[in-house]
Amino acid sequence: MLKRFLSVIEDRSALVGVCGLGYVGLPLSLAFAESGFKVLGFDIDESKVTLLNSGGSYIQQYPAERVGAAVRAGRLEATSDFIRAGEPDALIICVPTPLNRHREPDLSFVVDTVNKLVPHMRAGQLISLESTTYPGTTEEEIRPRVESRGFEVGRDVFVVYSPEREDPGNTRFGTRTIPKVVGGSTPACLEAGRALYQAVIQTVVPVSSTQVAELTKLLENIYRAVNIGLVNELKIVADRMGIDIREVIDAAATKPFGYTPFYPGPGLGGHCIPIDPFYLTWKAREYGVHTRFIELAGEINHNMPEFVVRKTQDALNERGLTLNNARILILGLAYKKNVGDTRESPAVEIMEILGAKGAQVDYSDPHVPTFPAMRRYSFELDSVGLTAESLSRTDCVILLTDHDAFDYDLIGRHARLIVDTRGVFRSGENVVKA
């Protein structure tokens, strides 16, 4: 089976199945399609399936022209019919792994997807999990379900874990150029997984097990979460001392060794950094380990929206205004600059807190024209256009996402009060740093 799998990958006659066509699955599908493979994408969202099959796109960074070209070439097709799971030679799972309301791992999307795939799997297929998760998931959740069909992993079918490393909005690195870590359940599985990803990605990094690959992804994001937590805490200290923390960071960054700059913000966003560390803290308890350092960083980062609101309230008070009934304009709804991704965005939580305190809240984000449907939050709002009039009639604007599309000169001249959480405005009588 391994020989045949390697053969269809080498001559690009393999059909690649991608399960979950979001911010990870869609670019991965395009990478395979543009490398000469045929791709069958699976998603439970019928609207996504219909739009993709018509050559459209629902993600700003991957325009309809690119999707349409793959569809017209016969290289990309989408379906919601998991009965077709026996058709692809490789099945790659790219579904969400959120936290539940107790901040514990929620693998329901992964488990449900695997349960939909396994009844239709056949000998010779590879199944790869890319969703971020705790060490042991592939061996404890994926492999037993595959083996329940009577398959011998490493001989009849191949099981691998290869964590996604997508970075929405990154113009320097994309799916093809970001090195790909791959771990297999057996040596044969690793060989199959390595061949699959080498066909479309410049650098593949094989590791000794799926557990190593799983922990690698967590380490990457925990490293960022902890360092961001550190500078967020230092920001609070520097603020009390009257020191500009960004000037401090820029000065420290001139050291050519032993230091990497991280910058503070209004809180963590996206589907990785606010969530992934808690997958490890949860799993570590099974081994009797309390990850205090990671949890402390999480607590600091989680409290940043409250810090921003307090700074806003204090700034209004100094100008004889109250937060109750204040007209607040949020600049940037997305969790990072130049993208339309609002997953776990701290801007949304800040809007919720401000609204609960009586503020009248609007937002402006050129990448998010209408407030998206969310499980926890609901605002019936559209993005406000930035003009001299719209800025001057607000009591305060809070810069939360520093999109390049914003006219910062216009904002600086016409906003009565600017609470800046991104260090864009370094000075000004109407500027408060948060």
Q: How far apart are CA 265 and CA 385, in angstroms?
A: 24
For the record, the structure tokens of 167 come out as 């970075």
- Are 107 and 133 spatial neighbours (Cβ–Cβ below 8 Å)? yes
272 is annotated as an active-site residue: yes
Burial status of residue 216 (CB atoms within 10 A of its CB: 0-12, 13-18, 19 or more): middle
Q: How far apart are CA 423 and CA 245, in angstroms?
A: 9
- Are 245 and 231 spatial neighbours (Cβ–Cβ below 8 Å)? yes
Q: Give CA angle at 266 (263, 270), nearest 5°.
A: 85
Count CA atoms within 13 Å of residue 399 on its CB side.
28
Burial status of residue 378 (CB atoms within 10 A of its CB: 0-12, 13-18, 19 or more): exposed
Q: From the candidates 19, 94, 189, 272, which is the catalytic residue? A: 272
Strand partners of residue 249: none
Q: 68: Cβ–Cβ under 8 A, 6 or more apart, which residues?
A: 55, 56
Burial status of residue 223 (CB atoms within 10 A of its CB: 0-12, 13-18, 19 or more): middle
Q: How far apart are CA 353 and CA 359, in angstroms?
A: 9
- Are 418 and 412 spatial neighbours (Cβ–Cβ below 8 Å)? yes
Q: What is the DSSP string of 220-257?
A: HHHHHHHHHHHHHHHHHHHHHHT--HHHHHHHHTT-SS
Q: How far apart are CA 28 and CA 45, in angstroms?
A: 18
Q: Which amino acid is at 257?
A: F
Q: How far apart are CA 55 and CA 66, in angstroms?
A: 8
Q: How far apart are CA 226 and CA 260, in angstroms?
A: 13
- Are 396 and 315 spatial neighbours (Cβ–Cβ below 8 Å)? yes
Which residues are tagged catalytic? 272
